[in-house]
Amino acid sequence: MTKPYIVAHILSSIDGRIQTRNWPVRNLAGLFERTAETFKSDAWVVGRKTMQEFSSVKVHRLGRAHASIPKKDFVGRHSAKTYAVVIDPRGKCFWDSNMVTSEHVIEVLTEAVSTAYLKHLREKQVSYIFAGKTSIDLKRAVTKLAKLFRIKTIRVDGGGIMWGAFLKASLIDEISHVVVPVADGSIGTPSVFDAEIGHTSRQAKALQLKSIKQLPGGIIWTRYRVVN
């Protein structure tokens, strides 16, 4: 099965910071969405921290373990054609329904999650797949997404750790980067690609410029092909 085509869609300050709440610019969520929607994708993928901005805000208490629930992939009942995927190694996102707007939710988990958590997902008919024993193997995750849900195109919508993990796994085909004319300067906040601390033996990725566009408000939108 061929790997889905993967675009990382990013909005950042000129210094690569991605937390926008202190920026003196409005409607950045709208800008992110408008530029994102230009990519026809079967699924968007986010890290656990970003998805917690969309998942249940209620306090959920997990009950006892359920030995009868196997640690096997599960496809919930749904009629959606597109998907909202969260990479959630320990099962920290809780759900009130199995949808985020018009997309069906898929949790990508490790086998470290409890059967009580799987029961919660089954009750809400949230789909889930396993992609590792204690840490996530992203290649395995995207292969399963393609096989089980026929996902051919993916947009990775953040945050920094998620883009960094996809970059490190050499899974990104294209980068869409919206640069807002803001200098942030914070240290220790999420950045465009948070893959690991310091320089390691891993080579940085070379990019080929595909297009560059100026948007109102001095915003620059560039697209790159990743040379993998």
Ligand X SMILES: NC(=O)c1ccc[n+]([C@@H]2O[C@H](COP(=O)([O-])OP(=O)(O)OC[C@H]3O[C@@H](n4cnc5c(N)ncnc54)[C@H](OP(=O)(O)O)[C@@H]3O)[C@@H](O)[C@H]2O)c1
Binding site for ligand X (CB under 6 A): 10-12, 18-20, 32, 46-50, 87, 89-90, 92, 136, 157-162, 165, 190, 194
Burial class (CB in 10 A: 0-12, 13-18, 19+), 40: exposed
Q: Which residues of 161-199 are buried (b: 16+ CB within 10 A; e: fewer)?
A: bbbbbbbbbebbbbbbbbbbebebeeeeebbbbbbeeee
**Residue with nearest beta carbon to ligand X:** 159
Sign of the C-alpha dihedral, residues 153, 157, 158, 164?
Answer: positive
Of 145, 147, 74, 154, the C-alpha closest to 115 is: 74
Closer of 81 and 170 to ligand X (Cβ): 170
Closer by beta carbon to ligand X, 78 or else 92: 92
Q: Where are the beta strands (DSSP E) in 28-146?
A: 43-47, 83-87, 99-100, 103-109, 127-130
- Taking the least distance from each CB to ligand X, the nearer of 44 and 74 is 44
Choose between 148 and 169: whose C-beta lies nearer to ligand X: 169
Nearer to ligand X, 20 or 98 (CB): 20
Q: How far is the CB of 110 from ligand X (least distance, A)?
A: 9
Q: Match 């993998």 to its residue by tokens.
A: 228
DSSP bridge pairs for 186: none
